[in-house]
Copies of this chain bind each other. A is one copy, B any other.
């Protein structure tokens, strides 16, 4: 019997691609088109309420590019799909041999800025498109969303709790990773703890409480097992009655020289209930018992709770973070921006489809800072221009070899925090943020004007 995961192998990722990548490559091959080309991976526009992106996913992209290849089993399958033998023989030896420039993970980015730039023989550059988009879409979307949630929590801890509703196994892992990059304190996903070293958190569910005849028996049983780190879920039947019982257990623990960790609220009006629970605990001298809240939270609800004076010490944020529920994708694309022409020289190109215009040529992104070191504007320019700002893209792969010292997850997380701190507050509001300025250099503007003229002529020819 087939396993439910037996396709999830690194060696199978060459087929983790849209069919059209292969038909295009077959035709490039058939037409002897092996010349290099450059593709930009970027996000076309900001989703509603977002005002920046937090870039994530590069590590997985580089490891994929380093390892992608076809097995005999894959080639046999592709043969049945009608591809001809010469192309299949080419695929047998396929390796990615291109150059890649990219922004580091944890970079704050804006629409139309290339995040990854791939220069490779056009067949290679084309074939890897789908995996790159899939990986960067998910992680950048989640890192961006998580950074908003963390920002809304104003220094209170945020734990990523969405595993049960994230989109499958890989999403569960990448959501934990990118949420951690964005500043979450940890995750409920134990496998992400095991694999990535992310701190894991969690206590008890309603079912645990319900499995005991009396709520306080459940609390006592749990406290017996975890006498110094229990967080008791108090809303199964009635919040305040639950809080009373938690307080009783806390006092019992004190007698044994132990301390209750906290209580968790998971339903109802969390602001009001948390205030009552805080008072109840404080009145009994249990100031040290933390209040943890969960239940359908996102950045908007957290901001409202804090505005309403909620007495909450940490937030568990699940589904709405783990699926980026208000916008479960970013408008990420991978577009050809130059090809090598007949005389071995690269020529910039662009497309004109309605609402889908692209930026031509090989480009770099420059960031400008104000006198305090905060971000003031960006400029997208052609690589051979002289621009004063700080360049965002660095070389990460040369001729298919990683030339970049992959940072650890904690290093990426620290870089993200540092970068977000340099983005002024007016660009980080939950709604109606001021748009950040991204300019095109004069040379790029001129190139676009000239190409548009030329293309309009060509398409009418």
A interface list, Cβ under 8 A from B: 1-10, 12-13, 15-24, 26-28, 30-31, 33, 37, 39, 59-60, 63-64, 67, 73-74, 77-78, 81-82, 122, 126, 129-130, 133-135, 137-138, 161, 163-175, 188-191, 193-195, 200-211, 213-215, 221-222, 224-226, 229, 235-238, 241-242, 266-268, 319, 323-325, 328-330, 332, 335-336, 339, 349-356, 406, 455-456, 458-461
Contacts and interface: CB of A to CB of B under 8 A. Distances in A.
Given A225-B26, A328-B325, A134 B206 contact: no
Contact of A194 (B37, B74, B237, B351): B74
B323 A225 contact: no
30 contacts: A3-B67, A4-B60, A4-B63, A8-B170, A16-B163, A17-B163, A17-B190, A18-B164, A19-B200, A19-B202, A22-B190, A23-B225, A24-B208, A24-B222, A27-B204, A28-B211, A33-B211, A78-B190, A81-B200, A82-B229, A164-B332, A167-B171, A168-B168, A209-B351, A210-B336, A211-B336, A211-B339, A235-B353, A238-B460, A241-B460
A355 B267 contact: yes
Nearest to A273: B354
Contact of A189 (B16, B237, B329): B16
Q: Which of A188, A236, A323 has the most CB of B within 10 A?
A: A323
Nearest to A242: B459
A160 to B, nearest CB: 11
Contacts of A339: 210-211
A20 B328 CA distance: 26
A214 B171 contact: no
A203 B5 CA distance: 28
Given A30-B225, A134-B169, A10 B3 contact: yes
A138 B22 CA distance: 28
Contact of A173 (B7, B323, B460): B7
A180 to B, nearest CB: 14
A30 B204 CA distance: 14
Nearest to A11: B5
B171 A352 contact: no
A172 B12 CA distance: 13
Nearest to A215: B459
Contact of A190 (B3, B18, B200, B461): B18
Given A8-B169, A236-B352, A353-B266, A202 B319 contact: no
Contacts of A5: 8-10, 13, 170
A134 B4 CA distance: 13
Contact of A138 (B6, B168, B236, B458): B168
A4 B221 CA distance: 40
Given A27-B226, A167-B170, A206-B336, 8 more contacts: A7-B173, A28-B208, A28-B211, A39-B207, A134-B172, A165-B329, A167-B171, A169-B170
Contact of A63 (B1, B23, B238): B1
Nearest to A175: B167
A134 B168 contact: yes
